């Protein structure tokens, strides 16, 4: 009987993997539709058509367009905090940490751009309860960015007169402007964006040697 149970477990695992892959495909489609058409210009039919399924079947995955938007926004910011925590904990020079923070954020230009654009331009259309949930994730990320700068300031690497909260807003403004602009030139590697943005930022926050 043991081999049969093992086979059954394996089949269930495969079904679960396929279901997760299908769910992510649908979320990707929703992100692309919201990014291209905006919230008000999009419909659940648009999302269903993108993945070749009946509109009614989409409701097995999302009960509403608002729920789909909330999930896209959540995925749009997830991972940023975890990546930043790793950077904060790493033993490396201040400039390297800041460059790593830019890389952590700007990688979304290449692998999650539709998600980020949807977060930037459409999250305000969410109902209040869902909007507050997404805002909490956003504020957490901002607080960790500020914690990074404050720790570097305490170590004497960053100017004492720097308002770290305002510096975070500048960091986010630079990165989000790149995501909000037209699709990045595929000939320009991610490292070029990171280097340019980090150099500009560092010139304003670091102590002069």
Last residue of a domain, one of 15, 38, 64: 64
The count of other CB atoms within 10 Å of the CB of residue 110 is: 12
Q: How far, rounded to the nearest angstrom, does the alpha carbon of residue 74 sit from its chain's CA centroid?
A: 8
The burial class, CB within 10 Å (0-12 / 13-18 / 19+), for 145 is buried
Domain that holds residue 23: 2-64
Give the predicted TM-score (pTM) of the model: 0.79
Per residue of the chain (209 residues), what is the pLDDT tens digit? 556 665 655 654 555 677 778 888 999 999 999 999 999 999 999 999 999 988 888 888 888 999 999 999 998 888 788 889 999 999 899 999 999 999 999 887 777 889 988 998 999 999 999 999 999 999 999 999 999 999 999 999 999 999 999 999 999 998 888 877 656 566 777 788 888 889 989 988 886 65
Report the CATH number at residue 33.
1.10.10.60
**Nearest in space to 93 (alpha carbons), one of 17, 45, 151:** 151
In terms of domains, do 28 and 77 share one? no
DSSP-assigned beta bridge partners for residue 141: none
In terms of domains, do 87 and 9 share one? no
């Amino acid at each position: 009987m043991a081999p049969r149970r093992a086979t059954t477990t394996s089949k269930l695992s495969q079904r679960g993997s396929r279901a997760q892959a299908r769910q992510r495909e649908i979320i990707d489609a929703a992100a692309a539709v919201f990014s291209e058409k905006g919230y008000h210009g999009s419909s659940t039919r648009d999302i269903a058509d993108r993945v070749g399924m009946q509109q009614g079947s989409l409701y097995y995955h999302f009960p509403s367009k608002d729920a789909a938007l909330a999930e896209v926004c959540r995925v749009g910011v997830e991972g940023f905090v975890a990546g930043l925590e790793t950077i904060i904990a790493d033993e490396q020079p201040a400039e390297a940490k800041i460059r790593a923070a830019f890389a952590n954020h700007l990688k979304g230009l290449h692998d999650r751009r539709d998600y980020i654009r949807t977060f930037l331009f459409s999250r305000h259309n969410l109902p209040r309860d869902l909007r507050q949930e997404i805002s909490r994730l956003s504020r957490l990320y901002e607080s960790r960015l500020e914690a990074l700068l404050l720790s570097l300031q305490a170590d004497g690497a960053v100017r004492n007169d720097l308002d770290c909260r305002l510096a975070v807003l500048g960091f986010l403004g630079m990165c989000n402007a790149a995501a909000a602009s037209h699709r990045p030139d595929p000939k320009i590697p991610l490292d070029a964006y990171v280097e340019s943005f980090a150099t500009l930022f560092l010139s304003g926050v670091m102590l002069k040697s």
